[in-house]
A and B are shown apart, each in its own frame.
Chain A
Amino acid sequence: MIENGKEKEPRTLNVRKSDLEFYHRLLAEDSPFNGMDNKRIFLLAMATGFFEEKFADVKDMTSFCRTETLIPEERALIDAIAVYKEGSLDVLSNPRKVFEIAEGYASGGIRSLYEQVFEGEFGTYSKRLEAELRSIVEKMGGGIKSDSEEKEEHSTRHA
Chain B
Amino acid sequence: MWIERISLKNYRQYEEAEIEFCRPTGGRNITVILGDTGSGKTNLVNAITWCLYGNEKHLTARNKGLDIYNTLAAKNLKPGETFQVQVKIHLGESDGGRIIVTRSLKYKVEFDGRVVRIPDHLSKAEDQSTLEMMRMIGKDMKEVQDPEFIIQKLIPEQIEEYFFFDGERLDEYFKEKSGVKIAEAVFKISQLELIERVIKHLKDLKQFFVRDRNDLSPRIEEIRDLIDRLTATLTDLNDRKEKAEAQRDEAERLELEAREKLREAPVQNIGKLEDERAELEENIEKTRKEIEELKNEKIQYLCSIAPAILASSCIQKASKLIGESEASGIIPPEYQPGFVNKLLTTGRCICGRDLIKGSSEYEEVKGLLNKSSILASLTRILIEDAGRLENLRQMVQEFPDKITRMNSRIQNLERNIETMEKRKLTIDSQIASCDSEKIRQYENEVQEYLKKKEKLIEEIGQLKQQIQATQSKIAMEEKELEKELKKQTKYKELVACLEFCQELLDVASGVKEKTMEDVRKEIEQQTKELFFGMIWKERTYANIEIDEHYNVSVKHISGNEAIGTLSAGERQILALAFVSALNNVSGFDVPIVIDTPLGRISSGPREKIARSLPSCFSDRQVILLMTNEEYTSEVKKVLSEHLSKEFSIEFTECADGSKARVIENDREWERKGASYS
Contacts and interface: CB of A to CB of B under 8 A. Distances in A.
Contact of A36 (B300, B305, B469): B300
Contacts of B84: none
A47 B307 contact: yes
A86 to B, nearest CB: 10
Contacts of A5: 373
B302 A129 contact: yes
Contacts of A6: 377
Nearest to B389: A76
Given A126-B295, A133-B302, A147-B320, A89 B308 contact: no
Contacts of B374: 93
Contact of A50 (B314, B373, B391, B399): B314
Contacts of A147: 319-320, 322-323
Given A47-B311, A144-B312, A76 B306 contact: no
A60 interface: no
A43 B299 contact: no
A29 B314 contact: no
B310 interface: yes
B302 A126 contact: yes
A80 to B, nearest CB: 4
A134 B377 contact: no
Given A92-B382, A137-B399, A146-B393, A47 B298 contact: no
Given A28-B472, A143-B396, A47 B300 contact: no
Contacts of B321: 83, 88-89
A30 interface: yes
B116 interface: no
A146 B399 CA distance: 16
A33 B385 contact: no
B303 A146 contact: no
A130 B403 contact: yes
Interface in A44-81: 44, 46-48, 50-51, 72-77, 79-81
Interface residues of B, number: 52
Interface in A118-157: 126, 129-130, 133-134, 136-138, 140, 142-147, 150
Nearest to A5: B373
A129 B321 CA distance: 30
Contacts of A150: 316, 320
Contacts of A84: 311, 313-314, 317-318
A146 B389 CA distance: 10
A33 B300 CA distance: 8
A75 B317 CA distance: 16
A76 B388 contact: yes
Contact of B388 (A73, A90, A140): A73
A108 to B, nearest CB: 13
B384 A136 contact: no
Nearest to A84: B314
B400 A50 contact: no
Contact of B314 (A25, A83, A136): A83
A130 B476 CA distance: 31
A115 interface: no
A84 B314 CA distance: 5
A79 B468 contact: no
A51 B317 contact: no
Contact of A81 (B298, B309, B311, B384): B311
B397 A144 contact: yes
Given A84-B317, A93-B374, A77 B307 contact: yes
Contacts of B395: 73
A77 B295 CA distance: 26
Given A80-B317, A126-B295, A143 B403 contact: no
A150 B5 CA distance: 111
Contact of B310 (A89, A130, A136, A145): A136
Contact of B303 (A25, A40, A50, A89): A40
B275 interface: no
Given A29-B468, A43-B307, A50-B310, A80 B315 contact: yes
Contacts of B305: 133
A73 B305 CA distance: 11
A33 to B, nearest CB: 7
Interface string A89-128: 1101100000000000000000000000000000000100
Most interface-central of B311, B374, B396, B468 (chain A CB within 10 A):
B311
Contacts of B316: 144-145, 150
A136 B397 contact: no
A3 interface: no
Contacts of A133: 302, 305-306, 309-310, 399, 403
A66 B388 CA distance: 20
B311 A80 contact: yes
A89 B378 contact: yes
A54 to B, nearest CB: 12
Contacts of B377: 6, 93
Interface in B433-482: 465, 468-469, 472, 476
A32 interface: yes
A64 to B, nearest CB: 16
A109 B384 CA distance: 28
Given A51-B311, A79-B318, A126-B302, A30 B469 contact: yes
A134 B388 contact: no
B311 A50 contact: yes
Nearest to B390: A146
B381 interface: yes
Contacts of A93: 374, 377-378, 381
Interface string A20-42: 01000100111011001000100
A92 B381 contact: yes
B522 to A, nearest CB: 65
Contacts of A129: 302-303, 306
A137 B315 CA distance: 13
Interface string B505-523: 0000000000000000000
Contacts of A90: 378
A143 B306 contact: no
Contacts of B320: 147, 150
B304 interface: yes
B325 interface: yes
Nearest to B299: A126
Interface in B307-365: 307-323, 325
Given A84-B314, A142-B400, A76 B469 contact: no
B391 A73 contact: yes
Nearest to A51: B310
A55 B469 CA distance: 31
A72 B378 contact: no
A76 B392 contact: yes
A129 to B, nearest CB: 5
A155 to B, nearest CB: 15
Interface of B: 295, 298-300, 302-323, 325, 373-374, 377-378, 381-382, 384-385, 388-393, 395-397, 399-400, 403, 465, 468-469, 472, 476
Sorted from nearest, which 5 A-B pairs have the closest CB atoms? Answer: A143-B397, A76-B388, A84-B314, A47-B307, A80-B318
22 contacts: A30-B468, A30-B469, A40-B303, A44-B303, A46-B307, A47-B307, A76-B384, A76-B388, A80-B317, A80-B389, A83-B321, A89-B318, A89-B325, A92-B382, A93-B374, A129-B303, A130-B403, A133-B310, A138-B400, A143-B396, A144-B392, A147-B320
